[in-house]
Amino acid sequence: MSSLQFKVQPHIKRLTLERARLWAPSVVGFAGTLGIAALLFTETVPRVRRDVLSNIPILGNYWPQAEKK
């Protein structure tokens, strides 16, 4: 008799853990690029400039905060 036993690999749709590990670096790279692009496109919005961009540790001096009176 055959002693082969099949195991079902856990998956979501057709995405298994092995495939997720292969795709992870690409997804992280694209997400980071899109996040940076979104910040640069919204750079002219005063609230983004004041609350987000001016609080970046090294580059924050490029977008100075408006002084409060």
Count CB-CB contacts under 10 A for residue 43: 13
Angle at 25 between CA 39 and CA 27, to 5 degrees: 50
- The predicted pLDDT at position 31 comes to 98
In whole angstroms, give the CA distance from residue 9 to residue 17: 9
Helix, strand, coil distribution of the chain in percent, nearest 5: 55, 5, 40
pLDDT (tens digit per residue) in 15-62: 889 999 999 999 999 999 999 999 889 988 988 888 888 888 888 888
Average model confidence (pLDDT) across the chain: 86
- The predicted pLDDT at position 27 comes to 96
Helices (H), strands (E): how many in the chain?
2, 2
In whole angstroms, give the CA distance from residue 32 to residue 61: 22
Global pTM?
A: 0.64
- The predicted pLDDT at position 5 comes to 87
